[in-house]
A and B are shown apart, each in its own frame.
Chain A
């Protein structure tokens, strides 16, 4: 995991990577090749004090550059 401080507007440089977004600052604060790598910033024990959803940093897999356009529909068969 690499700690960074980059505006979410410049997310393109992280294509295909798992990132951690701090929604209060609209910045990318960490980047990794897997969710496990960035896990310590987004996954916690229930005993730890955490920020409310919407303020807490969260994980996001940045789509690859060759992905999309999408037709995203799924239904149980």
Chain B
């Protein structure tokens, strides 16, 4: 049986001292890479990122297909892109939505594609997230 790599990340704190399962990840786009971070969110069906990340990569947000997302706060419009990301020792394409109407500070990694790639363990008591 093949050995599976395990990557462990510490949760990150917000200014109030609360901890969140935020992990580092790298985007590969064109001739650029950027090291970003996102909260791993099993409540999100799809990943959503701040538009600043797209701008940093020189990605034209509007070139992605228009999509509407629903959440507790209502409906927001975004544009979906299939982008190559790297984290936990794996590199793969993942659908990412960028929305000017998304105002939460955290980027979110949702279930679509990402959750198929890893066995994800939240160790809430130890404030650790493991990707296997």
- Whether B25 sits at the interface, judged by CB under 8 Å, is yes
Count how many pairs of residues, one from A and one from B, have CB atoms less than 8 Å apart in the complex.
150
Q: With A and B bound together, what is the CA distance between A46 and B84 in angstroms?
A: 13
Contact pick for B45, options A47, A65, A76, CB 8 Å: A76
Q: How large is the interface on A (under 10, 10 to 19, 20 to 34, 35 or more residues)?
A: 35 or more
- Whether B82 sits at the interface, judged by CB under 8 Å, is no
B44 cross-chain contacts in A, Cβ below 8 A: 72-75
Taking a contact as CB atoms under 8 Å apart, the answer to whether B41 and A50 are in contact is no
Least CB separation from A73: chain B residue: B43
Taking a contact as CB atoms under 8 Å apart, the answer to whether B104 and A35 are in contact is no
- B17 → chain A closest CB, angstroms: 7
Taking a contact as CB atoms under 8 Å apart, the answer to whether A11 and B13 are in contact is yes
- Whether A34 sits at the interface, judged by CB under 8 Å, is yes
20 further A-B pairs in the complex, CB-CB below 8 A; given A11-B13, A43-B56, A77-B70:
A9-B13, A15-B15, A23-B24, A35-B52, A35-B53, A35-B56, A42-B56, A43-B33, A46-B33, A56-B24, A60-B22, A61-B107, A62-B14, A65-B15, A68-B16, A71-B72, A74-B43, A74-B44, A74-B45, A75-B46
User: CB within 8 Å of B: which residues of A?
Assistant: 8-9, 11-12, 14-16, 18, 21, 23, 26, 34-36, 39, 42-47, 50, 53-54, 56-65, 67-68, 70-77
